[in-house]
Structure 1
Amino acid sequence: MKRFIVMTVGWLMAVNSMGQQALWSADGIISPVINENRTVTFRIYAPAAEKMEVEGDFLSPTMVSTPVGETESAGKAVMTKNSNGVWEYTTPPLVSELYSYTFLNDGLRITDPNNVYQVRDVASVSNIFLMSGQPGDLYSVQEVPHGNVAKVWYPSLTMNMDRRMTVYTPAGYEDSERSYPVLYLLHGAGGDENAWSELGRAAQILDNLIAQGKAEPMIVVMTNGNASQQAAPGEAPNSMKKPALFVPGMMDGRFEQAFTDVVSYVESHYRTQADKAHRAIAGLSMGGFHAMHISALYPDTFDYVGLFSAAIHTDNDSPVYTKFYENLNRQFSTPPQLYWIGIGRTDFLYKDNAAFRSKLDSLNYHYEYTESDGGHIWRNWRIYLTTFVQRLFK
């Protein structure tokens, strides 16, 4: 027994020594490290690399040309290598937010091997971290009652296929007989039914705002707005393909025409308050475009409409779009309780949104409007969702 104890102590001492040595090896690195002064330190072990950079939305952005126009790209910072082959970079103090980043290893983009917290945006995978305070705490899991998030398949008779959506039910839904209002929340181009729950932190935002009494308990339905898809890439039959920004059926009118399938399924399978006063619809970018047209196509369905950095124009000649202003006139003959528009000052869709607001002004249609810093980015869309849901169903 004595020999066993001695051997055990010796083994533990060896492991502890190895752990200290591992601080400067690939296994012992912690990255990122959030320091007490609100700076953040990134580390990666790459002794053979000649240059290492960190690219993240906490750095000054650059403007780049994309297929949809000039938009912001995350900034870059050069990292420094020590004698042990560990590259390091420490940020200036950061304000509270959810941040994303990747590394560039001699120009090759890679994720941080020491950070398991990742998200996918279209075909790009990046790491994330949260800075405490506001709004970061709102995007974090807190000690509050939690709602549930389910991946739900429903039959779309209009599209002649089964499709999937993500449904958030608020804390207490399963244990009550109460009926709830519903927010239909739509993603942008390249997204799917996972986007708002993963990139948008919708469940955390709703949990925390409801717990604080700032938002009404509500069901949130996050659909897949790509009419050619049953579900997110890799999560439907024969769909394990590289995700793309542009896919068939994005903005051809089919999704809007089939949206009654979604509403019918939700109201027949969940306890909802099934009237205009208790339905809201909102979306970002392409999803804002969809929300704009769905709410006009079905003018008696939604009393709250949110357009987050919304796309405004399309070349498609679907009657859903060619008759938009005719539909809008019907919608505003009995105006929605809230028609809310938000966009960043450097968003490539800013001018289109300004022109649309001018059109609404010329028609004397009331809406509420907010501008924020930055461009076509998730940071803005999380803020817009936070602001919008606090205005619903009051």
Structure 2
Amino acid sequence: MKLKISITSLVVMLLGFNIYAQQALWGGQQIISPEINSDNSVTFRFNAPNADTVQITGDFLPTEKINTQWGVFDGPGKALLKKDANGIWSFTSQPLESDLYSYSFSVDGVTNTDPNNVYMIRDVASITDVFIVGGGKGDLYNVQDVPHGSVTRRWYDSPGNDIKRRITIYTPPGYEESKDKYPVLYLLHGMGGDEEAWIALGRTSQILDNLIAQGKAKPMIVVMPNGNVAQQAAPGESPKGLYKPNMQLPNTMDGTYESTFMDIVKFVESNYRVKADKPDRAIAGLSMGGYHSLHISRYYPDTFDYVGLFSAAIMPDAAMKSKVYENFDETLKAQIDNGYKLYWIGIGKTDFLYQNNTDYRAKLDSMGMKYTYVETEGGHVWTNWRIYLSEFVPLLFK
């Protein structure tokens, strides 16, 4: 009898475990959030019947100034949700322009993601939910019914850093079947980012797929390296394991990445069918990546015909000593003399780097260096950087 009871108990216990283990297959709250309404307003909902206060913060709300050790940034605004009789809190935004937006909740002061939205993106050490409002530029960030390129993560030897490093590479639709050679855009992330930033936050593959399908951009390979030479790869993607990401990394903007950048170019040109000459190479980046693009293109002044500076940091800290930053005016003059097809600068009107970019443009004007300048609303945000990529790419390799 005891054996029978033990077996029965074991079966019940195993069945219970099986139900618990698989509850994600049909579990979850039956709440729609976010819900995009017919007028492009968006309704958010959160089930918290015992909460006293629920707030939402997102880049679709009026911005707030945030002071950090790196300066003053435009941060996402906040709004209060209202609770109904069932304990469901809700908030409806104003009608929104077509774009990709991010948000999170704060429940009694504790940050929460939206349990009803599985679409999330990591930015440095923060996870936010995202949604896309279509009918405009947001359509460029959506997966459309067009031919698609491939995105791969590769490991390459970096002799300059004496390690193997991870890199993300987009190849255009038809690359695998073709024997053609393609031009290359090297696309660099900002501080705290890594080789996942542009493909996830920047929607690079969707933008390229859609622009190529529309005939607005030439098929190209896009190389998205990790710009932190202290890392082998993005957090969680290296032997270092699953650790909390941070922005305080060694060798940041000290010349090491610039001086070893040709390790990346050599890997790409040895492993992909590319046109390995100056008219078929472009380099661009945001913030720290714009800084790297500026100095890499100047340090190797006869290597890139297309340069894009998106909300770029400009000059190194005075304490930084590297041969990369020496003879700045002379190497910039060599870049001018060697010729180039496009030098593109984009910045938001309220970006904390706006004055730095204004001063840099004054230097270029004094040297007679031609450039294309684009000024947008807003500050140091991904909303602008996706726009810049969408506008920069169609100008390449003409």
Asked whether the 8 Å contact 2:105–2:111 carries over to 1, the reply is yes
Deviations 1:104-131 (A, max 9, x none): 1011111001100000111110000000
* Alpha-carbon distance in structure 1 between the residues aligned to 2:186 and 2:382: 18
8 Å contact 1:55–1:103 — kept in the other structure?
Answer: yes
Q: Distance in 2 between matches of 1:26 and 1:169?
A: 37
TM superposition shift of 1:300: 1.2
**Which whole-Å CA distance do the structure 1 matches of 2:327 and 2:196 have between them?**
31
- What code does the residue aligned with 1:77 have? A
Q: Map 1:95-114 onto structure 2 (within 5 A).
A: 95-114=97-116
Q: Please list, as runs of the form range in 1=range in 2, the aligned pairs for 1:271-286 lying within 5 A after superposition.
A: 271-286=273-288
The Cα shift of 1:26 comes to: 6.3
Q: Residues 41-80 of structure 1: matches in 2 within 5 Å? A: 41-80=43-82
What amino acid does structure 2 have at the position aligned with 1:350? Y
Runs of at least 5 residues in structure 2 that lack an aligned partner in the other structure:
1-25
- Superposition deviation, residue 98 in structure 1: 0.1
**Secondary structure at 1:228's aligned position in 2?**
coil
Q: Per-residue deviation at 1:67? A: 1.6
| Partner residue in 2 for 1:386 | 390
Aligned to 2:227: 225
Cα deviation code 1:215-260 (max 9, x no counterpart) = 0000000000001011001101114221112311221111111111
Gaps of 5+ in 1: 1-21
Counting only pairs closer than 5 Å after superposition, residues 1-394 of structure 1 correspond to structure 2 as 27-315=29-317, 316-394=320-398
Please give the alpha-carbon distance, in whole angstroms, between the structure 1 residues aligned to 2:84 and 2:297. Answer: 57
CA contact (8 A) 1:53 1:104 kept: yes
Paired residues of 1:142 and 1:208 also in contact (CA < 8 A): yes
> Deviations for 1:274-312, whole angstroms, at most 9, x for unmatched residues?
100000000000000000000011111100000000001
Could you list the per-position Cα deviations for residues 193-217 of structure 1 after superposition, in whole angstroms to 9, with x for gaps in the alignment? 0000000000000000000000000
Opposite residue 128 of structure 1, the aligned amino acid is V
Supply the AA of the counterpart residue of 1:368. Answer: T
| 1:156 and 1:261 in contact (8 A); partners too | yes
Query: Identity of aligned pairs, percent?
Result: 57
Task: Tell me the distance in 1 between the aligned counterparts of 2:277 and 2:90.
Answer: 56
C-alpha distance in structure 2 between counterparts of 1:321 and 1:111, whole Å: 42
Cα drift, residue 323 of structure 1: 2.6
Contact 1:26 1:45 in 2 (8 A): no
Report the TM-score when normalising by structure 1. Answer: 0.93
Q: Distance in 2 between matches of 1:305 and 1:352?
A: 18
Contact 2:29/2:115 (8 A) holds in 1:
no
Per the normalisation by structure 2, the TM-score is 0.92
Which residue does 1:3 correspond to in 2? none
CA RMSD of aligned residues (A): 1.2
Give the whole-Å Cα distance in 2 for the aligned partners of 1:230 and 1:177: 32
Structure 1 stretches of at least 4 aligned residues deviating more than 3 Å after TM superposition: none
